[in-house]
Chains A and B, each alone.
Chain A
């Protein structure tokens, strides 16, 4: 009992002080660690385990090991491939476009101008407007005949371009992409802005002494200094692209004809609606492997830089 906090000073005071610290360390950690074990570590292990069984949510049949059957089923499903292609397309467009846009906005709002704070606040507002709400509002804006988007397009193009947006297999995914960039770019802008403000001012002063133009300063000072920030932003955006769910759930539920189907919609459809826990877990594992690979690429890029400098 010498480790209890009540024993204050004893003969072996250093020893008991250390074990006391060890005990309180574990006590401080216990609540979080318990919750993480139950709600994160166990389910994660279970996702992998269940994906090799025939588990359903409620089933009279006993659970048995089925090998890689679930993965075979997932990868031989045309809808899953369609979903995967959509996620990849979404990433291929959103990652470069949104990052470039966020960088541009961050440089814009970083200038010393009266009222800049107001602009910053406004550009960030979509981020705090909940995705389910934003999706609901955009669904109305995209209405082909009476929505504001086509109203504006009609004004600009003279009625030449009037897509059916969410009801057209060609335009539904672009509609989701535009809306997602609108909602997410403010987040990236703030992260990049923090990066910009961490760049030592002396670098720019040195550049001015050398007679560098604004573009040269941006190209040779700002961009290299932002490298790690941009790697982070690209990684987060790429992962978000594979987590695509809320917008499509509200706006199209995967339609029309799977044009906006995504991996996570499929996971919820299989694992929850059809109650096929095992196959849903297999999709979750595939999803996690993708997230993990993106993270590995990020780590790799960051390490490369450390080796160079």
Chain B
């Protein structure tokens, strides 16, 4: 164990040097301190959870009781599932969900393909102008969508793209940050694997699909999650390019729904709950990939 702890890479093994090693009379005091730590951590957990709890409880309450003299909102009473049916009927939740699903799926999958191909080419293939292209990609990372939204609106409305799916998809497929993340991943990959594939006579695309890409699963996982989080929550662009509920995604849907009279908070909470439940489920299931995805942005600094 000592040999591994020295590296400090493994969080579980690396942290056990201090108090846990000392046995004897200190034990009861340690138990006490541990209980206190758990209490503090639980209070913090409550701070992060209470809006979500409020939302889930409220989604099962009659509309008039969602807002209930302060903390009464957290007491479940008169529970009903009517709000969920109302969210479908009054806010076209089904349609909006489908729209979000179509746009997000298209962006994530096509993005994975084109960004990884590009990242791989930059990391491993020698072609004229590669270094210049790489420098441009890195420079492009700092341009936020917001800085180009207005001229992009001007371009796409000239093409008659307003109120379509593809106006919400195509601008977000290629992302300099994701290209860069793939690039750094492929750069660190051992070269021997590709060379083995080359000796077998596979062309570059075959080698990429059958050998390289399967080995890059962690990178694909991280990028898929980052890209999904971004596109599922996207609000500013849909505000500018969608007019009606036909192609409108969920975030804009909920922003509109809460101003749609008569304002019924139970329905709105049900809408909100159904909108983030899929994300929470995916998050809990693929937690490690989430954390790696988020952390991978930090290490590039």
Residue of A31, A236, A239 with most partner-chain B CB within 10 A? A31
* A81 in the interface (beta carbon within 8 A): no
Instruction: Please indicate the chain A residues that have their CB under 8 angstroms from the CB of B9 in the complex.
Output: 197-198
Q: Does A100 contact B (CB under 8 A)?
A: no
What 0/1 pattern do residues 42 to 59 of B give for CB contact below 8 A with A? 001101111110110010
Binary contact track B26-53/A, C-beta < 8 Å → 1, others 0: 0000000010011001001101111110
Interface-located stretch among A72-80, A82-90, A103-111, A165-173? A103-111
Tell me the bound Cα distance from A123 to B43 in angstroms: 11
Contact present for B157 and A57 (CB under 8 Å):
yes
> Which of the residues B55, B70, B147, B269 comes within 8 Å of A147, measured between beta carbons?
B70
B67 touches A140 (CB 8 A): yes
With a cutoff of 8 Å between Cβ atoms, the chain A residues found around residue B252 in the complex are 132
Bound form: Cα–Cα A130–B275 in Å: 8
Q: Are B114 and A112 in contact (CB under 8 A)?
A: no
CB distance B66 to A140 under 8 Å?
Answer: yes
Query: Does B101 sit within 8 A of A, measured CB to CB?
Result: no
Chain B residues with CB under 8 A of A43: 148, 151-152, 155
**Contact B297 A132, beta carbon cutoff 8 Å:** no
Partner of A22, one of B68, B128, B295, B298: B128
- Asked if B150 and A201 make an inter-chain contact with CB atoms under 8 angstroms apart, the answer reads no
Q: Which of B50, B148, B255 contacts A40 (CB 8 A)?
A: B148
B295 touches A191 (CB 8 A): yes
Interface hits, B215-274 → A, CB 8 Å: 229, 232-233, 235-236, 239-240, 250-252, 254-255, 258, 265, 268-269, 272
Known: A55-B154, A130-B276, A136-B268. A119 touches B174 (CB 8 A): no
Contact string, A190-217, partner B, CB cutoff 8 A, digits 1/0?
1111110111111011001000000000
A residues 87-135 in Cβ contact with B at 8 Å: 105, 108-113, 115, 119, 121-134
Asked if residues A204 and B45 are in contact (CB atoms below 8 Å), the reply is no
A193 — which chain B residues lie within 8 A by C-beta?
295
User: Which one of A35, A131, A151 lies within 8 Å of B233 (CB-CB)?
Assistant: A131
Closest to B4 in A: A201
Instruction: List residues of chain A with CB within 8 A of the CB of B255.
Output: 132, 136, 249-250
Is B294 interfacial (CB-CB < 8 Å)?
Answer: yes
User: Is A245 touching B235 in the complex (CB atoms < 8 A)?
Assistant: yes
| B89 within 8 Å of A (CB atoms) | no
B15 touching A33, Cβ below 8 Å: no
Interface membership of A280, Cβ < 8 A: yes
Which secondary structure dominates where chain B touches chain A? helix
B74–A28 touching, CB < 8 Å: no
The reply on A258 being an interface residue by CB < 8 A is no
Q: Does A218 contact B (CB under 8 A)?
A: no
Decide if the interface of chain A is mainly helix, strand, loop or mixed.
helix
Chain A residues in 8 Å Cβ range of B130: 25
CA separation between A132 and B257, bound complex, in Å?
11
Once the chains bind, are A146 and B150 in contact (CB under 8 Å)?
no
Chain A hits for B184, CB < 8 A: none
User: Which chain A residues border B121 with CB–CB below 8 Å?
Assistant: 24-26, 28-29
Report A37-73 CB contacts with B as 1/0, cut-off 8 Å: 0011111101100100001010000000000000000
Query: CA–CA, A153 to B239, complex, Å?
Result: 35
Residues of chain A contacted by B152 (CB below 8 angstroms) = 39, 43
Q: Within the assembled complex, what's the spacing in Å between the Cα atoms of A125 and B295?
A: 15
Contact B54 A128 (CB under 8 A): no
How far does the alpha carbon of A57 sit from the alpha carbon of B120 in the complex, in Å? 39
Query: How far is B3's CA from A205's CA once the two chains are assembled, in angstroms?
Result: 13
> Does B171 lie at the interface of the complex (its beta carbon under 8 Å from any beta carbon of A)?
yes
Q: In the assembly, what is the distance between CA of A147 and CA of B121, in Å?
A: 54
Determine if B203 is an interface residue (Cβ-Cβ < 8 Å): yes
- Bitwise interface map of A from 220 to 263 toward B, beta carbon under 8 Å scored 1, else 0: 00000000110111011001000101100110000000000000
Q: Report yes or no: A277 in contact with B70, Cβ–Cβ below 8 A.
A: no
Q: Can you name the residue of chain A whose Cβ is closest to the Cβ of B240?
A: A272
For A121, give its contact among B118, B171, B258, B284 (CB under 8 Å).
B284
- For residue A271, give the distance in angstroms from its CB to the closest CB of chain B: 4
Q: Which residues of B contact A35 (CB under 8 A)?
A: 114, 170, 173-174
* Bound-complex Cα distance A287 to B101 (A): 31
* Pairwise interchain contact B126-A268, C-beta atoms closer than 8 A: no
**A297 interface residue per 8 A CB criterion:** no
B147:A287 contact, CB within 8 angstroms: yes
Checking B14, B41, B140, B153 against A108 with a beta-carbon cut-off of 8 angstroms, the contacting residue is B41
Please provide the 9 A-B residue pairs with the shortest distance between their CB atoms, ordered closest to farther: A151-B70, A25-B127, A194-B295, A232-B301, A25-B125, A191-B298, A28-B121, A201-B8, A132-B251
Contacts A140-B269, A245-B236 supplied; 7 other A-B pairs, CB < 8 Å: A43-B148, A140-B67, A198-B299, A202-B8, A250-B258, A268-B240, A288-B147
